[in-house]
Structure 1
Amino acid sequence: MYSFKKHALAAAVAVSIAPVEILAQSTSESVEGIEEVVVTARRRSESLQEVPISISPVTSEEIQQRAYSGLEDIAAATSGFTYEGFSTSGTNGNAVIRGMAQTFTTARTQNVAFFLNGVHLQRQSMMNFGLVDMERVEVVKGPQSAMYGRNAFAGAVNYITSPATDSLEASVSVTAGSDERRDIKALVSGPIIEDLLYGKINIADSTYDGHTRNAHPFADADVPGPHTNGKLGGWEDQTISIALALRPSENLEVKLDYYRAEIERESQPYYVMSGIANNAWGFTAYSDMNCNPVTRMSFLGFPMTANSWWCGEVPTAPTTATDNVLAPFAPDDTGHNAITVDPRSIGAVAETDVASLALNYDFSDSVSLSYLYGRTGSDSLTNGGSADRDPLTGVGTTWDTLMFPVPGGGMQVVPQIAYTNSFSGRPISTLESDSHELRLNFEGETWEGGAGVYYSSIDDESYDLTLYMPLCSTFNAGYDYGISGQAACSLPADGSVGSPLMGAPDPVSQRLGMWHGAESKHTLFDDNVFALFAEAAYSPTESLTLRAEMRYTEEDKGIRRLTDGFGVPASLPFSGVVIPEDQETFHYFTPRLTAEYQVDPDHFVYASAAMGVKSGGFNNTNDVAKLTYDEEQNWTYELGSKNTFLNGAFQLNAALYMIDWEDLQTSQAPTTGTVGDTILIANTGDAESIGFEIDGRWLLGDSWSTDFTMAWANPEYDDGVEYEEGARFINSGCLQPIMVTPDQAVPCGDPDVGGNQLARTSEWQGSVGINYQAEVFNGWSLLARLDTNYQSKQYVTPLNLAHTGDRAITNANVSLAAPENWRFNIWGKNVLDEEYVGGVFVLSQFNKMIIATGMGPSYGATVSYDF
């Protein structure tokens, strides 16, 4: 039967980044100490306090108690780990461990590897599918390429679902909260055939209307298919988790797990800032930026001067008036400038399927064999939301150019303008993957280790979708496609409706109209990964262990470029696709060396040197010089200590590290600089970082406890690292034409960002939690928690000009549980209404920032019953 008292005590002292359980006989007796936490980050069960890696596990009790719903919650309370989902609610999500951020946010592979029950999740859209049925989430810090292989470059995040249980268990929970939050979950687990076959099924449905008012006059428009309805930031998620366990003998266990998540998430509240490049392209006549005045040549052939970028803290809401003269800028309910989002915006729509078959056989007490098969499938869709500065007026694009005689001689050029809303879905992807891992393990008195082989094949298809839609607005100046006002809102922004620009006589608008709905940069990727790995550990004494891990990997990668940046097929003579097909093989060796020393039962120290490698790949571009990029690597040197004091009541863990990072894969501008060829991946130089992490928890008697974390990181670019993207589009101070030809490719600004802090990294993080637990009446348990999570500013680009500002988010929850069946939980997130920038997506080619604001206050109550 479920013992809530034990788990309530566990959650009461659970540290935000490394939750632990507390062992106590009753609230009237003294707390005996912090109970051992078992993790499986190294593919075996080990005590957290004896693993020579910095690991932050989050338990199912914490997830339930604190109403965690996604990766944002995990990251906010985990030292050295951040996550931002941007305005697309995770389609382009970016996870960062120890400041090792990637600047190319839409890359196929990331610096942090994600796994579900040991199976690699390759796409960003698979990172954040929810926390339903999670027994534990482990954030493993530092390069784990020797253990996990493919792209565990800065670390890994392991999702572990709950297993099928030996005894019959069943539960149901219902959540109701602010902004129409509604959740329901049901679980059944237990034996199917006694002492042989066990099963589990967990089904969940979650809906949420959103947390921020959409000031758009047609925010409630009935748009077919996925869209943003009413408030912003809502979701509709469905999850099913199934597990079977077969145990025909004491030596053999076979497990089958299946997890399916269907997510439909609205755009986060966001607004757009734009600068001189947007003006020069003719997309808007307004500049929101406050620094870097530069001169550009407009598409009509005359020079324009305005600001190119924002310096300082990025505001959480627009600070300047919109372009819409018919619908004036209206403040929201709090008096701030309103956020207006086109209701046709799609944040993230994704289906993720993960199936795994695990076999474990013990030949003896010291030798075992394991096999893991994994099958993943993913479909992800977004339109990115309207990228216009003001969706009510849209983008004014030249439809045609008329000539009128001027008195006294000469002709006057009068452009005829068509107004549209633009959407940009990047990327839209479909992925299928199969993987196999066979591992042989042995354990002796002085030696232990193992060896194995790994193989996976990945078929990955992606493309970009750019749309120019009729205005969903009462603003009808210029060409209105014959549709005005709310009627245009019913046209879904999914490519099924033609662009108003398609019939334009103007050649530039013709080009943009051709782009509408085209599968631009349509690309097929084919990866085959083979790896051999081994581990050996020697213990010359009971206290000292010397460990070596190594992995040899061969990645055979292929690409088929089907269309160029304008959606023109490679088969056509005027296509920008230079090389339709390419193939390349990457080889690399990733070692990890560790020395572990158990000073005494309460004090453990370790030192390690580990290499991480992230393989190279391909770009779909007409820039011949940047069709491919090489792998990047880092060496991380770490010194750590895990300690227990005060007779088990105080636990303090710390890690100090230094990172030497070479051949960074960063975003760079294409040589051509045309609107159809977007930013690419290139190797641009090196970086280094030093930092530390501290995790602590303290039992302050029978009823009170506290936990705290602190992390500091100083990731900086080395001298000589060049951010061409910024030099060409942001810092450019010369008379630079829009259409740059190869002989004009020398950047006008200084591309060197050496010494600057890496973009999207926080120098400081911290959290503190205060917990209270007591028995209140007739065996009922009360548990209360108040915590605050802090994150310092993050620079938006390597230029270190714009930044997000600091933020401190406070959460609270109170739980009441019966001795056996009932549990009641009241929770609140961001209860002090901290306003903050949740993420900034950069379109430097257009001097544009898409600024997503963070989640506002939310409240709810959950009722659970265990049968």
Structure 2
Amino acid sequence: MKKTPQLALCALAVSAALTIGTQVQAQETQQVREGKLERIQVTARKKSENLQEVPIAVTSIGAKELSEKGISVITEIQQFSPNTTLQTSRGTNSTLTAFIRGVGQQDPLWGYEPGVGIYIDDVYMARPQGAVLDLIDVERIEVLRGPQGTLYGKNTIGGAIKYVTKEMSGGTEFNAEATVGSYAQRDVKLTGQLPVIDDKLYVGFGFADLNRDGFGEFLQSALPNQDRENYNKDLWAARVDVEFRASDDLFVKFNWDKTRDTSNAKGGYRLLPSLLTNAPVPDSVYDSYTSLPTSNLVELEGYSLMLRYNYSDAMELKYIASYRESYSPTNIDFDNTALDIFDVPAEYSDDNSTHELQMNYTGDRFNVVSGLYLYDGESCGNFDAILGFLGRAAFGTPGLTREVTGCNNSESWAIYSQATFQVTDDLSMTVGGRYTDEDKTAIVNNGLVFANVYPQSNWIPGYTRPDGQLVPTVLGADANGDGVLDGPKTENWTRFTPRLGIEYQAADNMMLFASFSQGFKSGTFNPRATINEEGVNPEIVDTYEAGIKADWNDNFRTNVTLFALDHKDRQYVGIGAGNSATDLQQVLRNVAETSATGIEAEATYVASDYLTFNVSYGYINGKIEKNNSIPPLIGLANTPEQTINLSANYVIESDIGDFTINAGYYHRGDYLLFETSTLLEQDAYGLVNVSINWQSVEGDWYASLHGKNLTDEEYLVGGYDFVGVADDGSLLPGLGGDLTLIGYYGDPRTVHLTVGYRF
């Protein structure tokens, strides 16, 4: 696999030159046929379509494949989608870091917008906190790569991840399963549905209680009676669905879901010895030290309502309303020592509501998807950057805290339409556009307090927060003397994002396509502002794609996409900020532009009724076109040049039921954790996963044994870099006065056994 775009172009040309066998008719639901390719339905374009007829780069993983591979959390999906990063962020077990084709958002602070949209049944999750979803009662996961600005709107400049739950069958169903595994894993999942009124009203439910001991421990803690487990898991999640088929034409669905994660705050691994303590670097990358409480909470709750009405045979109307809220008090020990060198206790709270009215129309020679979308959200938070050791040593004060609080409120509306016209029997054209109007208001309090300050009383034992508003010494402009940086600030942004595509049915089972699409990530305000800042403009991504989707016969499928993108007005700490690792000032600016070209290829070969092979390959070549960031950019974050997945699935029939063996290898090339530093860089690595599944002849009992990361690879998924670099390359203390270079790691080798029963 030579890393050149020329090879990719040749591969595409060779594929396009081949011919196809007979057409296999699309079916309404995903269905497996023995010895033949699977027909996969997706809703990537907000209507049900055969995956092979959708002219965008999409990876879809259905419930059967998720179960056979033992995929239980959304971050594992990155292994099966080329050029995709879905990893658990630093400091917590539930915050998501998502990048597709080098486009995403590193910092999960309130006010910063994601670059990859997360959707649950077409309902947008606005914040990364809690977005590491455990997969419960899911029908499929869809990964849409590239800007989805026309149909999905802002904050999908990298792509979108769609979590699609199962629609009820109408009968009585119940499923119970239990899992035990490494690190005392003990999970229980219950799902089911019950008809209240036959053929009219159904109620479904899902519940999961997920527990696991830590991969490591906190070796030292400054506080007594702390739970010392690190990288543990302790959460429950529940959902209830109510479906009402009022008539042949009207369908109503109501959903409620809630997740409560009380897993411990995650401690990082010190990659450098501390200058201020004598604690050694731990032997295990999962061990840590802390001076903060290890307690942590991520709580999410949401409601949604969907009405679908078949106005005629040609027109479907749909209305989707939702409300979601989250709250997360968290403890992040940046320095990971038992001293208060650089501690950050924080709170995040979010709530948002959405309304979407959609129309799907199918004519003789064209179809249209149009809609009106409204969003109203508030994202607030506060964090205390405690530099207590520095305060006592340098100023002789009880401590030192940089306290930041604020809110970022957004109200936006959008109107969109996308139409596909059949120019000839084989040639079609897609034209779409979305107009978005967004108002944002932000307020920031930012200053220094010469004491150790925590968000609430009793955050640590015996701490009492002063009554009323704590007004720190403000770092920036404070015209009124009230601790507020001359706020609130208000800004309005509007954007029209187009899509233009052409599709050619070269043969019955071969589609060639090319497209241009644009997306934007919302403009915003700096939630850490230390001076009177204006808002920064939206980030814009223009992407060109050309691809082929082909079923060469009943047994072999290849989907290949070439892409080139231009990522403009990137939001970074820019000109005017200090450039040392000890600087408190941060000024957010649109200061960078990057570009990338690449290829994404997926292939499936059904060798026999019992044996199937899958291959996926991603390559991306990123370049920095404009670089006014301080410190300067040196590459793309969380984006390996190559990703490869190889897997095989083998079925064994027996008198006691069917056995399915699944084995896979995932390769991820080397990548930077941060775009401005080489101090945190992960070398290329590979993961080996093997699963054995069994289902009884009657289909009621089932069991599976899954081994993940069998070679026990250690690989970075997050970190903190507060280290200075001298002209001679030597390392200098950063903020807090210590060498704070911290790594967070992916899961070690694990094995788990699941047993389930359904009727």
Q: Normalising by structure 2, what TM-score? A: 0.85
Corresponding residue for residue 61 of structure 2: 58
- Shifted more, 808-817 versus 839-848: the winner is 839-848
One-letter amino acid of the structure 2 residue matched with residue 124 of structure 1: P
Shift of the 115–680 alpha-carbon distance from structure 1 to 2, 3 Å rule, reads farther
Corresponding residue for residue 601 of structure 2: 694
Corresponding residue for residue 690 of structure 2: 812
The aligned runs of 1:685-764 (5 Å cut-off) are 685-718=592-625, 720-724=626-630, 726=631, 751=632, 753=633, 756-764=634-642
Shift of the 784–245 alpha-carbon distance from structure 1 to 2, 3 Å rule, reads same
Contact 2:486 / 2:532 at 8 angstroms: preserved in 1?
no
1:568 to 471, 476, 481: 471
Q: Distance in 1 between matches of 2:233 and 2:222?
A: 16
Corresponding residue for residue 604 of structure 1: 511
Contact 1:565 / 1:677 at 8 angstroms: preserved in 2?
no
The alignment status of 1:216 with 2:99, answered yes or no, reads no
Shift of the 194–267 alpha-carbon distance from structure 1 to 2, 3 Å rule, reads same
1:100 to 95, 100, 103: 103
How far did 1:219 drift?
A: 11
The alignment status of 1:559 with 2:442, answered yes or no, reads yes
Contact 2:523 / 2:539 at 8 angstroms: preserved in 1?
yes
The alignment status of 1:825 with 2:704, answered yes or no, reads yes
Contact 1:840 / 1:850 at 8 angstroms: preserved in 2?
yes
One-letter amino acid of the structure 2 residue matched with residue 377 of structure 1: E
Corresponding residue for residue 294 of structure 1: none
One-letter amino acid of the structure 1 residue matched with residue 628 of structure 2: E
Q: Distance in 1 between matches of 2:359 and 2:386?
A: 52
Shift of the 144–657 alpha-carbon distance from structure 1 to 2, 3 Å rule, reads same
Q: How many residues end up aligned between the 2 structures?
A: 690
Contact 2:286 / 2:745 at 8 angstroms: preserved in 1?
no
Q: Distance in 1 between matches of 2:102 and 2:30?
A: 26
Q: Distance in 1 between matches of 2:425 and 2:359?
A: 24
The alignment status of 1:860 with 2:755, answered yes or no, reads no
Corresponding residue for residue 263 of structure 1: 261
Root-mean-square deviation over aligned CA pairs: 2.8
How far did 1:601 drift?
A: 2.4
Q: Distance in 2 between matches of 1:440 and 1:387?
A: 49
Corresponding residue for residue 228 of structure 2: 229
Shift of the 346–641 alpha-carbon distance from structure 1 to 2, 3 Å rule, reads farther
1:448-504 Cα shifts (integer Å, max 9, x gaps): 113221111112211113346xxxxxxxxxxxxxxxxxxxxxxxxxxxxxx7998x5
Shift of the 592–352 alpha-carbon distance from structure 1 to 2, 3 Å rule, reads same
Corresponding residue for residue 461 of structure 1: 380
Q: Distance in 2 between matches of 1:74 and 1:343?
A: 35
Corresponding residue for residue 22 of structure 1: 32
How far did 1:20 drift?
A: 7.9
Corresponding residue for residue 135 of structure 1: 139
One-letter amino acid of the structure 2 residue matched with residue 383 of structure 1: N
Q: Distance in 2 between matches of 1:112 and 1:131?
A: 19
How far did 1:244 drift?
A: 0.9
3-state SS of paired residue (1:462): strand
3-state SS of paired residue (1:616): coil
Q: Distance in 2 between matches of 1:44 and 1:347?
A: 43
3-state SS of paired residue (2:313): coil
Corresponding residue for residue 356 of structure 2: 437
Q: Distance in 2 between matches of 1:617 and 1:716?
A: 25
Contact 2:232 / 2:264 at 8 angstroms: preserved in 1?
yes
Contact 1:651 / 1:698 at 8 angstroms: preserved in 2?
yes
3-state SS of paired residue (2:150): helix
Q: Distance in 2 between matches of 1:103 and 1:240?
A: 29
2:549 to 639, 642, 652: 642
Q: Distance in 2 between matches of 1:219 and 1:692?
A: 50
3-state SS of paired residue (2:411): strand
Q: Distance in 1 between matches of 2:401 and 2:542?
A: 47
Corresponding residue for residue 423 of structure 1: 343
Shift of the 799–582 alpha-carbon distance from structure 1 to 2, 3 Å rule, reads closer
How far did 1:528 drift?
A: 0.5
Shift of the 185–34 alpha-carbon distance from structure 1 to 2, 3 Å rule, reads same
Shift of the 842–93 alpha-carbon distance from structure 1 to 2, 3 Å rule, reads farther
Shift of the 635–238 alpha-carbon distance from structure 1 to 2, 3 Å rule, reads same
Corresponding residue for residue 379 of structure 1: 327
Q: Distance in 1 between matches of 2:522 and 2:241?
A: 33
1:691-721 Cα shifts (integer Å, max 9, x gaps): 0001011111222221111000012211x41
How far did 1:41 drift?
A: 1.5
One-letter amino acid of the structure 2 residue matched with residue 541 of structure 1: T
The alignment status of 1:652 with 2:558, answered yes or no, reads yes
Corresponding residue for residue 629 of structure 1: 536
Shift of the 219–766 alpha-carbon distance from structure 1 to 2, 3 Å rule, reads farther
The alignment status of 1:194 with 2:198, answered yes or no, reads yes
The alignment status of 1:835 with 2:714, answered yes or no, reads yes
1:388 to 335, 339, 359: 335
The aligned runs of 1:114-153 (5 Å cut-off) are 114-153=118-157
Q: Distance in 2 between matches of 1:641 and 1:329?
A: 51
Which structure has more RCO (C-alpha within 8 Å, separation ≥ 6)?
Answer: 1
Shift of the 373–67 alpha-carbon distance from structure 1 to 2, 3 Å rule, reads same
3-state SS of paired residue (1:686): strand
1:166 to 152, 170, 175: 170
Q: Normalising by structure 1, what TM-score? A: 0.75
3-state SS of paired residue (1:72): helix
Shift of the 60–669 alpha-carbon distance from structure 1 to 2, 3 Å rule, reads farther
Unpaired runs of at least 5, structure 1: 1-18, 25-30, 276-283, 287-322, 395-419, 469-498, 727-750
1:777 to 655, 660, 664: 655
How far did 1:357 drift?
A: 0.5
Q: Distance in 2 between matches of 1:843 and 1:92?
A: 21
Q: Distance in 2 between matches of 1:851 and 1:240?
A: 32
Q: Distance in 2 between matches of 1:73 and 1:169?
A: 28
Unpaired runs of at least 5, structure 2: 1-28, 450-469, 724-733
Corresponding residue for residue 26 of structure 2: none
The aligned runs of 1:239-258 (5 Å cut-off) are 239-258=237-256
1:812-849 Cα shifts (integer Å, max 9, x gaps): 11011102210010111111111222222333663633
1:397-427 Cα shifts (integer Å, max 9, x gaps): xxxxxxxxxxxxxxxxxxxxxxx4642145x
Larger radius of gyration: 1
Contact 1:129 / 1:263 at 8 angstroms: preserved in 2?
no
Q: Distance in 1 between matches of 2:658 and 2:557?
A: 25
3-state SS of paired residue (2:67): helix
Corresponding residue for residue 798 of structure 1: 675
How far did 1:658 drift?
A: 0.3
1:372-400 Cα shifts (integer Å, max 9, x gaps): 1011111122211x2225x24x3xxxxxx
The alignment status of 1:113 with 2:112, answered yes or no, reads no
The aligned runs of 1:268-667 (5 Å cut-off) are 268=266, 270-273=268-271, 285=275, 323-324=277-278, 331=283, 339-342=287-290, 344=292, 346=294, 349-384=297-332, 386-388=333-335, 391-392=337-338, 394=339, 420=340, 422-425=342-345, 428-467=347-386, 508=395, 510=397, 512-513=399-400, 515=402, 520-564=403-447, 568=471, 577-621=484-528, 623-624=530-531, 626-645=533-552, 647-667=553-573
Contact 2:569 / 2:590 at 8 angstroms: preserved in 1?
yes
Shift of the 220–792 alpha-carbon distance from structure 1 to 2, 3 Å rule, reads farther
How far did 1:100 drift?
A: 1.5
Shift of the 586–703 alpha-carbon distance from structure 1 to 2, 3 Å rule, reads same
Shift of the 625–330 alpha-carbon distance from structure 1 to 2, 3 Å rule, reads closer
Q: Distance in 1 between matches of 2:157 and 2:398?
A: 40
3-state SS of paired residue (1:558): strand
1:849 to 741, 744, 750: 741
Q: Distance in 2 between matches of 1:78 and 1:467?
A: 40
- Shifted more, 672-681 versus 851-860: the winner is 672-681
1:537-586 Cα shifts (integer Å, max 9, x gaps): 21022222111111000001111224446573678966664322111100
Percent same amino acid at aligned positions?
Answer: 23
1:293-342 Cα shifts (integer Å, max 9, x gaps): xxxxxxxxxxxxxxxxxxxxxxxxxxxxxx42xx666745xxxx883333
One-letter amino acid of the structure 1 residue matched with residue 83 of structure 2: G
One-letter amino acid of the structure 2 residue matched with residue 524 of structure 1: C
